Amino acid sequence: MLLRKNLPKICIALGQSDPKRLLELARHEASSGERFLEFRLDYLPRPLQGPALIADFLKEYPECSVLATCRRHQNHGHFNGSIEQQLAVLAGAIAQGAKAVDVEIESAELAIPGVRDLAAHTTLLVSYHNFEGTPAMEPVLKRMLKVPADAYKIVTTARKPSDNGRLLALGKLAPRTPMILLAMTETGFPSRVLSLAGGGLFTYAAPSMAEGTAAGQVCARSLRKLYRSDKLTKNTKVFGVIADPIRHSISPAVHNRALQSRRIDAVYLPFLVNPLQLKDFFVLADRLPINGFSVTIPHKQRVVRYLDAVDPLSKRIGAVNTVWRKAGKWRGANTDAAGVRVPLEKRIKLGGASVLVAGNGGAARSAVFTLADAGAKVFVTGRNPDRVRALAKVCGGTPVLLEHCAEGHFDVLVHATSLGMWPETERSFFDGAIPADIVFDLVYNPHETLLLKQARQQGCETIHGIEMFVEQASEQFQLFTGVSAPRQAMERAAVEALATHHNNHRGDCE
Ligand code: NAP
């Protein structure tokens, strides 16, 4: 029954208990150009009403395809009726024009003749859902294939990064079987983007004006515009960023824009990797395979132990933010260092300049070593005197206790603590006068921190954290791709992503 080319690659999942709202969302999606919508009839208080809603919708938008689903509550849906009643709702949906129906494996196995009847009139998807985890996949596929269907949907819950790889590997195991493979949760997000590249029939997206029906679903615009998921193929190179948390990272916006602007067939994904999952991420990285990735909190230091080669500066810093594969070996570099140095070199000769670095964490470490290498006189301050002294000692700098900072004057202040960072934007490292001519705040969210505002009002030259962000990301891009970075496009993408982040916490979906 099913013709692959007949179904669009992105299906908007609509699950609403209010029939009016369901139709309103469907109309909104259709009028914004979406052509494939799932009506979750089990969300309605009276699912038997569903077929009439489908008819109403298709009368207005005959160009759209509707997938009807009426999942039973035993199988994590909302429908309270019997399997016979479930199939009757779906038969009604088919009669009103639904182009496909989804029946969960638990129902399908018990009602093979009834399901066969449905398949005679429409495209039949048989689906498997696992809300606990991602089990061994081959037995699941074997079980599914016992029920004849046009396509098989396998949805698991990703608990660790490598679950994405094991699930997507099913596509290679049975390349001729039409499948939809998705892992739920934020950890499983990469599968939502990459499933089409592996030959998946379609993927699901959340509506632009409401929540989706599964954890980790994002809106279609994000899948298409940001990740180009409908254009990816098995030759597409995969890059990404590992972090925990990952949700607010602007790196996917910046790197994907750069890849698109240089017309490189590659995608850059957010990978949620918790502190105990770093090793597991490398399993996924080999399986997909991933060509390179950015590293951020909390992995910058621990990731070093998994690498084959790290440059001398990164070794001294003890942390890398960039990992890429060359000749089968994982290499690491710290482009944060250039991210601090290059914007300063555009404004001042660093040799002999006095630079006060506030903070003793990862960013501060990148700053002090590269500044010392560039010949600057480095001073280190922070809230913890022991850490201040220790960092000053390893980089050959001078410790300055917090209360003595204001007594001196420096050519440059590099602010490398997290003070003033969103959402605590009312905080600043200095209450009164800032003892420097140039103030470089590494915090890039918000664009102008309170510290930078104070510095501007005091007549200091200011450098925004976004300059560091773009510099370190540009260097990463070159290491990843071997191509020069489109800096202006990256800066625009970073500024837009930050603005979106402030206006709308659901990303760029609305
Ligand atoms: P980190 O390793 O966690 O270090 C944070 C530092 O901030 C530590 O030294 C900590 O002091 C200090 N700190 C935290 N709260 C403080 C407070 N209330 N008062 C005084 N000091 C405080 O983080 P990181 O990776 O170095 O990042 C620091 C900042 O730089 C973040 O805002 C990050 O977004 C930014 N950054 C920007 C870029 C960019 O591209 N622009 C790149 C990397 C980092 P203790 O040492 O006493 O704990």
pLDDT tens digit sequence for 284-336: 999 999 999 999 999 999 999 999 999 999 999 999 999 999 999 999 999 99
Question: Measured from the CA of 384, which atom of ligand 1 is nearest?
Answer: 47
Residue range(s) in the chain whose domain bears CATH number 3.20.20.70:
4-235
Which atom, in ligand 1's list, is nearest to the CA of 466? 41
CA–centroid distance, residue 225 to ligand 1 (Å): 32
SS3 (DSSP) at 480: helix
| CB-ligand 1 contact for 430 (6 Å cutoff) | no
Residues of the chain with CATH 3.40.50.10860: 239-334+470-504
Residue with tokens 């009368």: 59
Reported confidence tier of residue 502, pLDDT bands at 50, 70, 90:
low
Res 272: pLDDT: 98
Intervals of CATH 3.40.50.720 along the chain: 337-463
CA 280 to chain centre: 18
CATH number of 239-334+470-504: 3.40.50.10860
Atom 43 of ligand 1, residue of closest alpha carbon? 363
Architecture of domain 337-463: 3-Layer(aba) Sandwich (3.40)
Pairing of strands 436-441, 65-69: unpaired
443 lines ligand 1 (CB under 6 A): yes
CA 480–ligand 1 middle distance (angstroms) = 26
Q: What percent of the chain clears pLDDT 70, i.e. is strictly above it?
A: 97
Ligand 1, closest atom to CA 297?
25
Q: Residue 6: pLDDT above 80?
A: no
Closest ligand 1 atom, residue 300 Cα: 25
**CB 442 less than 6 A from any atom of ligand 1:** yes
Ligand 1 pocket test: which of 344, 414, 418 has the largest number of ligand atoms within 8 Å of its C-beta?
Answer: 418
* Any atom of ligand 1 within 6 Å of the Cβ of 389: no
Burial of 361 (0-12, 13-18, 19+ CB in 10 A): middle
pTM over 0.85: yes
Distance CA 323, CA 126 (A): 40
The fold of 4-235 is TIM Barrel (3.20.20)
Average pLDDT over residues 194-223: 87
Looking at the DSSP bridge assignments, the partners of residue 203 are: 10
| Strand, coil or helix: 94 | helix
pLDDT of residue 504 exceeding 60: no
Annotated catalytic residue, options 142, 300, 349, 453: 300
Q: How much is the mean pLDDT over the chain?
A: 94
Which of the four pLDDT bands, split at 50, 70 and 90, describes residue 4? very low
Is residue 59 flagged as an active site residue?
no
Confidence of residue 1 (pLDDT cuts 50, 70, 90): low
